[in-house]
């Protein structure tokens, strides 16, 4: 592709490859979906095409919902790649443990507000881990990686979205998981209101109980 200089590969995930590149003298991120040999070729093409188009659509929708996301510069369904703005900053996953209690609480509140905005607008992120959040050098929080997202208004999907985040906090940030998740929910409530937040907390509890029930059944 014209003027595109790959600087380095940042991640090779199961689903996509992420590279940092220079494009018209600007740093950009390339997210590409490579051919998977184990899939039937036509099905493979359909899946890669769907994901290449679907993710930028959701990233754009999230922006409309008031959630900072990387700007999409190009969607290329021939090479199955997206070129997007490079967010210069720190991944929340690494930042969170380095912060003071007060700073951490503020950041988690902000995370909750952004998730609240997504949900209020009818969007589900699908992978709300702190790896998919970047605090840029100007202190603006971005959500990235909408590959598993969807447009959805169901209480259940929103509950699952937050439940996944709670589980992520417990495994990645165990020392302060409970306090941080409470802060997230305060931010969420600030955007979406208390009555709905009470419903969603009940939903999360229900999902947790369901999970425990399945675990117990497995042990019997």
Ligand X SMILES: Nc1ncnc2c1ncn2[C@@H]1O[C@H](COP(=O)(O)OP(=O)(O)O)[C@@H](O)[C@H]1O
Q: Cβ closer to Mg ion: 113 or 145? A: 145
Among this protein's residues, is 2 annotated catalytic? no
91 binds, among Mg ion, ligand X, none (CB under 5 to 8 A by kind): ligand X
Q: Cβ closer to ligand X: 1 or 209? A: 1
Q: Is 25 helix (H, G, I), strand (E, B) or coil?
A: coil
Listed in sequence order, the residues at least 6 apart from 3 whose beta carbon sits closer than 8 Å to its beta carbon are 23, 24
| Nearest-10 crossing angle of helices 101-121, 41-64 | 110
Q: Cβ closer to ligand X: 173 or 203? A: 173
Q: Residues 59, 84, 135, 162: which binds ligand X (CB under 6 A)?
A: 84
Q: Does 56 bind ligand X (CB under 6 A)?
A: no
Listed in sequence order, the residues at least 6 apart from 218 whose beta carbon sits closer than 8 Å to its beta carbon are none
107 binds, among Mg ion, ligand X, none (CB under 5 to 8 A by kind): none
Tell me 132's DSSP state. G
Q: Is 4 helix (H, G, I), strand (E, B) or coil?
A: strand
Q: Does 74 bind ligand X (CB under 6 A)?
A: no
What contacts 24+ positions apart, CB below 8 Å, involve 100-103? Answer: 101/176, 101/179
Q: Does 86 bind ligand X (CB under 6 A)?
A: yes
Q: Residues 113, 145, 161, 183: which binds ligand X (CB under 6 A)?
A: 145
Please identify which of the residues 44, 127, 139, 183 carries the catalytic annotation.
127
Q: Does 143 bind ligand X (CB under 6 A)?
A: no
Nearest Cα to 80, choosing from 109, 56, 116, 112?
56
172 binds, among Mg ion, ligand X, none (CB under 5 to 8 A by kind): none
Catalytic amino acids?
127
């Amino acid at each position: 592709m014209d003027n595109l200089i790959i600087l380095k590969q940042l991640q090779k995930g199961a689903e996509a490859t992420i590279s940092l590149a220079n494009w018209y003298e600007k740093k950009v991120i390339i997210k590409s979906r490579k051919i998977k040999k184990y899939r039937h070729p036509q099905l493979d093409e359909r899946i890669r095409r769907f994901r290449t188009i679907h993710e930028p659509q959701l990233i754009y929708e999230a922006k409309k919902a008031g959630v900072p996301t990387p700007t999409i510069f190009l969607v290329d369904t021939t090479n199955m790649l997206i070129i997007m703005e490079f967010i210069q900053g720190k991944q929340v996953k690494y930042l969170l443990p380095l912060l003071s209690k007060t700073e951490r609480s503020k950041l988690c509140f902000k995370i909750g507000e952004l998730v609240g905005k997504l949900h209020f607008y009818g969007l589900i992120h699908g992978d709300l881990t702190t790896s998919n959040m970047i605090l840029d050098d100007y202190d603006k929080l971005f959500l990235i990686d909408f590959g598993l997202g969807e447009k959805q208004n169901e209480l259940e999907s929103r509950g699952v979205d937050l439940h996944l985040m709670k589980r992520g906090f417990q495994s990645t940030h165990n020392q302060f998981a409970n306090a941080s998740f409470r802060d997230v929910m305060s931010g969420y409530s600030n955007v979406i209101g208390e009555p709905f937040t009470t419903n969603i907390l009940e939903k999360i509890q229900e999902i947790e109980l369901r999970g425990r029930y399945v675990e117990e059944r497995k042990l019997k």
